[in-house]
Amino acid sequence: MVLHRQIRPEWWHNFNSRNNTQSSSQHSTATLVCQEPQVSIHPLATQEGVLIKVEPPYRPSNDDLSHVPCDIVLVIDVSWSMSDVAPVIGRDDEGMVTREHTGYSVLDITKHAALTVLETLDAGDRLAVVTFSTSAKVVRKLQPMDPVNKKATEKCIRGLKVESATNLWQGIVKGIEQFRDSKNTGRVPAVLVLTDGQPNLQDPLQGYVAAIRNMAPLPATVHTFGFGNDIKSGLLKSIAEIGGGSYSFIPDAGMVGTVFVNAVAHLQSTFANRCTLTLTFPESLRLKQTGGEIVACKQFMLIDAHDPGVTMNVGEKSHVYSRGLEACEMTIPLGNLQYGQSRDIYIRSDAQNWSSQDAEKPSIDATLNYSLMHNIQYTISARQDALSFTSLPSSDLAYHRSRAMVCEYLSSFFPLQGNGEHSMPFVTPASTSAIRTKFEDLLARIPAKDFSDSRNKSIMQDILGQIKLAVYDDTYLKTWAPHYFLSLWDAHAKQVRNTFKDPGVQMYDLNSPLFTKCQEDLTRAFDIAVEAPEPSLRRQADEKYSSGRANVSMSSYNNCDQPCFSASTLATLADGSEIPASQLRKGMAVQTPCGNRNIVAVLKTRVQRVTLCRTQNLLVTPWHPVMDDDASWTFPARIAKTAVRYSGAIYSILLEPDSNPQAHAIRVGGVWAVTLGHGIIGGEDVRAHAFLGDYSKVSKALSIVGVTPEGMAVASGVRRERRSGRLNGFRGQTSDQIGDC
């Protein structure tokens, strides 16, 4: 595929030159950018549609970059409902859901999340804090986060108090106003809005969407976060859409950390902003965008080939066609692009036979316009003969078609109203019957069901797990399901990992080293580095917390993928450098007692409220063998001085085969810990295990669970022989393990 700039028919150039209001001096071609994104067009051989791939660079050219500088405005709801208790939700030994009241309120946890964002910023970033209740207040203006300003901002955040009403509109306006005097500085601009209620004061008369549209062009993207079930999530989703941002649902306090961590990690790993994709194609191809209708999703224009000055703008509807007009233009806002994460847009065709539509071969043009956080707009284009079909693997095409189908199904619950806001579903016997009929139709048609690779499997896990759970329960459809559906739709449409929760969204950002690093830094800050706020509801806490007999770890409110070798634990690589153990991947070389060895696979297992032992800087399961100070192998339960209750995930490592058992250990947190398949299957050695020590059995069990190209396998537990109870395999995730909202 040859990449070029604005290669179109001559009549198109004539038309475009008359209507382009910006001079050429205001644009820079992509050839002037040291790192270019790639645009490619992939017509399907079935002529059912076309896949457009936009691929940003894998990582920044500056390897020393800790994160992309950001301008962040936190807009925080401080209405009275934010004083509600924020329990730690877990499970007891029988698997029953538990709620421990620790004395923290929703605002307390939100303050901790804000302090986490602050912790990871430096003098190259700017942060502002706005609160809203009866009115909106600018607590801290947008300022560089040098040590002095960071300390002052921390004091302001810790001092936030609840007030009364919910004036969401004034909060948004004040948040956007913080950029009034700011120019495009090279930092990623964003407004993050968190609320736990429905707006009840001074809504804009024309509606939120129209009011925000009148403020265009916005100086920053607007991202919304809805906490709990008493929210107007259709409105929050619409605000995020018109604001060029994302919407995330936070069902309970345990999800606050993971949602904020992922959202800010995306900002800190941004490659480009203000991105739009424009497609030009013959009207006869009858292309239509998929994935569900969103606010300002697309502008669709039909262009007369005989008189390019005559156009028909049909707005946001991409399914309108006219016989007399031969060319079409579709513009799709993409928002921000992140390093290492592609954007894959599937466009469906309603034409019967492409080859019979035109005398000449039909072609498709795709043009990406983007900014690198400055005023300069860059353009890169691609053209593809529509009859030169793609060579992409069928599994890739099935995955992206399936992703689009899931988005369309989820979006069908929330049609756009006249004011541009998504309506919320009204659950009746008739509507639930229609919802379930559509679900069965989706299940029957979705291509992902016929493929076994990790990405297609993850889509099916989403469908057969949380989505199905909600669809077939009227109570869920009336409570958390609509909020969750909107959030999941947003994540799949934008290809962003918004939480740790859903298997499908875990496929995003896997190939972004910068996102992974930022995510780990933020996780470490939330769980460890940031001092927890003072509980504002200590008198209402459970007795063990109110009396001071038990302390609360803030990791309880970041219920995400904390490995056995925890996210803050450093693993030693072959060259002596250290990285968070959760970043270990297939092919990486690590130190062992017998020299350097390569990783073959990483097993992640989700657990709830298990006991972990702390040995030096390592958090490990009690019976996972480690090497003691005298170079002998022992169990952590015998030598650990402290233990903790833990919910999240634990990791185990499989190294390349070696006949020497000593070659099957990895150094984490300053401790040698045994790895899988070490070869000791019997005897008195504490490492001996008939299954975990058998390399071939472990390898086979991992293959059954499923291993991604990056060497990751995800399990929900272990399998045991029915009679003996001996461990003999790993249990893959089921709908029961995917989790409830």
For 254-309, the pLDDT digits (tens) are 788 889 999 999 999 999 999 999 999 998 888 998 988 888 654 555 555 444 44
- What contacts 222, CB < 8 A, 6 or more positions away? 172, 175, 176, 190, 191, 193, 212, 239, 240, 242, 243, 244, 245
Give the pLDDT band of residue 226 (cuts 50, 70, 90): very high
Give the pLDDT band of residue 438 (cuts 50, 70, 90): very high
What does the pLDDT look like over 597-613, one tens digit per residue?
A: 999 999 988 776 566 77
Please check whether residue 490 lies inside any domain of the structure. no
- Minimum mean pLDDT among 339-348, 563-572, 632-641: which range? 563-572
pLDDT at residue 214, rounded to an integer:
94
Q: Please, what is the average pLDDT of the chain?
A: 83
pLDDT at residue 609, rounded to an integer:
57
Please check whether residue 488 lies inside any domain of the structure. no
What does the pLDDT look like over 80-113, one tens digit per residue?
A: 999 988 887 654 434 445 677 778 899 999 999 9
- Minimum mean pLDDT among 411-415, 445-449, 713-717: which range? 713-717
pLDDT at residue 141, rounded to an integer:
96
Give the pLDDT band of residue 399 (cuts 50, 70, 90): very high
pLDDT at residue 379, rounded to an integer:
96
Burial label, 212 (beta-carbon count in 10 A; 0-12, 13-18, 19+): buried
Domain end marker among 358, 392, 426: 392
Looking at the predicted structure, is the pLDDT value of residue 734 above 70? no
CATH assignment at residue 238:
3.40.50.410
pLDDT at residue 319, rounded to an integer:
38
Q: What are the φ/ψ torsions at residue 179 (nearest 5 degrees)? A: -100, 10
Is the separation of the CB atoms in 580 and 567 below 8 Å? Answer: yes
- Minimum mean pLDDT among 127-131, 304-308, 540-544: which range? 304-308
Give the pLDDT band of residue 561 (cuts 50, 70, 90): very low
Q: How far apart are CA 451 and CA 85, in angstroms?
A: 44
Is the separation of the CB atoms in 504 and 402 below 8 Å? Answer: no
Looking at the predicted structure, is the pLDDT value of residue 740 above 60? no
Q: How far apart are CA 120 and CA 178, in angstroms?
A: 21
Give the pLDDT band of residue 10 (cuts 50, 70, 90): very low
Residues 350 and 371 in one domain: yes
Whole-model pTM above 0.75?
A: no
Residues 110 and 251 in one domain: yes
Looking at the predicted structure, is the pLDDT value of residue 376 above 80? yes
Residues 605 and 734 in one domain: yes
Is the separation of the CB atoms in 713 and 454 below 8 Å? Answer: no
Residues 262 and 342 in one domain: no
Tell me the residue range of the domain where 385 lies: 3-62+271-392
Please check whether residue 83 lies inside any domain of the structure. yes
Instruction: Name, of 269-273, 577-581, 643-647, the range with top average pLDDT.
Output: 269-273
Residues 96 and 190 in one domain: yes
Residues 221 and 235 in one domain: yes
**DSSP H or E run through 128:** strand 126-132
Compare 62 and 39 and report the one with higher pLDDT. 39
Looking at the predicted structure, is the pLDDT value of residue 446 above 90? yes
Strands 188-195 and 221-227: parallel
Q: What is the mean pLDDT of residues 49-60?
A: 96
Looking at the predicted structure, is the pLDDT value of residue 147 above 50? yes
Please check whether residue 433 lies inside any domain of the structure. no
Residues 76 and 152 in one domain: yes
Please check whether residue 191 lies inside any domain of the structure. yes
Token pair listed for 256: 């606050």
Please check whether residue 148 lies inside any domain of the structure. yes
Residues 578 and 641 in one domain: yes
Percent of the chain residues topping a pLDDT of 90 = 52
Looking at the predicted structure, is the pLDDT value of residue 185 above 70? yes
Looking at the predicted structure, is the pLDDT value of residue 18 above 50? no
Count H helices, E strands: the chain? Answer: 18, 33
- Minimum mean pLDDT among 36-40, 175-179, 242-246, 573-577: which range? 573-577
pLDDT at residue 437, rounded to an integer:
95
CATH assignment at residue 570:
2.170.16.10
**Can you give the length of the chain in residues?**
741
Q: How far apart are CA 84 and CA 520, in angstroms?
A: 29
pLDDT at residue 304, rounded to an integer:
52
Looking at the predicted structure, is the pLDDT value of residue 5 above 80? no
- Minimum mean pLDDT among 531-535, 565-569, 689-693: which range? 565-569
Looking at the predicted structure, is the pLDDT value of residue 401 above 60? yes
Domain end marker among 360, 375, 392: 392
Token pair listed for 603: 């097993």
Residues 325 and 356 in one domain: yes
Give the pLDDT band of residue 714 (cuts 50, 70, 90): confident
Domain end marker among 348, 367, 392: 392
Q: What is the mean pLDDT of residues 21-40?
A: 51
Residues 119 and 212 in one domain: yes
pLDDT at residue 532, rounded to an integer:
83
Kindly state the greatest CA–CA separation across the chain: 87
Please check whether residue 540 lies inside any domain of the structure. no
Residues 290 and 218 in one domain: no
Q: How many domains, the chain?
A: 3
Please check whether residue 469 lies inside any domain of the structure. no
Q: What is the mean pLDDT of residues 124-129?
A: 97
Orientation angle between helical segments 481-494 and 233-242, nearest 10 degrees: 20
Burial 77-91 (b: 16+ CB within 10 A, else e): bbbebbbbbbbbbbe
Residues 37 and 83 in one domain: no
CATH assignment at residue 348:
2.60.40.10
Is the separation of the CB atoms in 59 and 513 below 8 Å? Answer: yes
> Is the bond preceding residue 661 a cis peptide, omega within 30 degrees?
no
